[in-house]
Amino acid sequence: MQKALLPIALLLMLAAPATVSARELQAVKPPQFAASLYDALVIARFDSFRALVDAAGLKAYLSNPKLQATLLAPDEGAFATLFADCSKAGVSALVQYHIMTQPVRVALDANWPTPPQPFRQIPTASPTKMKLRFFENRWEAHGTGRDAFVRPGGANFACGAGLLHVMDNVITFKP
């Protein structure tokens, strides 16, 4: 009987350090990409979106390293023909719509439901909520006018207390 218990005890002793290591790894925070969401726009060279942030007067807001928010930043290709003559109020509303007022990780969880479940609606810095879902194997931010998908490899960049996701389009809340 004791001989049968010896291999089990040995196996448990060997598995215990691996379990602790896995827990420790899960507790590790992702490395910081930038000190703030605004710094991330500079580092990633999202000059068009950064220019909109500046024009909207939101540089100081996004420069706060303690801001707990998620920024959906359209990449440079998304600005090819959009918003050539947009007013300052229009620019401000557009940028505020891209700022979710809480950190939202890109993950297969309740923040990104799959159809036929309804969209998850997250408050933004504008009066309009952002609608999120996991659709056709991609993470989608659904606007009233234009939708966008998170770019592959463009998710969960830690920026101070916030997150940045790189989007393939400018999300609009007006048709």
Sign of CA dihedral 57, 142, 65, 125: positive
Is 67 a member of any domain? Answer: yes
Is 100 a member of any domain? Answer: yes
Give the per-residue pLDDT at 99.
97
Residues 53, 41 contacting (CB under 8 angstroms): yes
Using CA atoms, how far apart are residues 54 and 60, in angstroms rounded to an integer? Answer: 9
Beta strands in the chain, from DSSP E residues, in sequence order: 32-34, 70-74, 99-100, 120-122, 130-135, 138-142, 148-149, 157-159, 162-167
Give the per-residue pLDDT at 175.
67
Map tokens 């790894």 to a residue. 25
Closest CA to 87 of 45, 56, 57, 48: 56
On the question of pLDDT at 10 being above 90, the answer is no
On the question of pLDDT at 173 being above 90, the answer is no
Helix (H, G, I), strand (E, B) or coil at 105: coil
How many residues can be counted in the chain? 175
Burial of 139 (0-12, 13-18, 19+ CB in 10 A): buried
Q: Is the pTM of this model over 0.85?
A: no
Per-residue pLDDT reduced to its tens digit, 67-81: 999 999 998 888 765
Is 3 a member of any domain? Answer: no
Give the per-residue pLDDT at 116.
87
Is 2 a member of any domain? Answer: no
Q: How confident is the model at residue 113 (pLDDT cuts 50, 70, 90)?
A: very high
Is 109 a member of any domain? Answer: yes
Is 8 a member of any domain? Answer: no
On the question of pLDDT at 11 being above 90, the answer is no
On the question of pLDDT at 13 being above 80, the answer is no
Per the prediction, the chain carries an average pLDDT of: 83
On the question of pLDDT at 35 being above 80, the answer is yes
Q: What total number of domains does the chain contain? A: 1
Domain limits for position 140: 31-167
Query: Residue 118: which CATH number?
Result: 2.30.180.10
Using CA atoms, how far apart are residues 38 and 95, in angstroms rounded to an integer? Answer: 12
Q: How many CB atoms lie within 10 A of CB 109?
A: 11
Is 9 a member of any domain? Answer: no
Distances (CA, A) of 67 to 27, 45, 75: 21, 21, 22
On the question of pLDDT at 16 being above 80, the answer is no
Using CA atoms, how far apart are residues 59 and 168, in angstroms rounded to an integer? Answer: 22
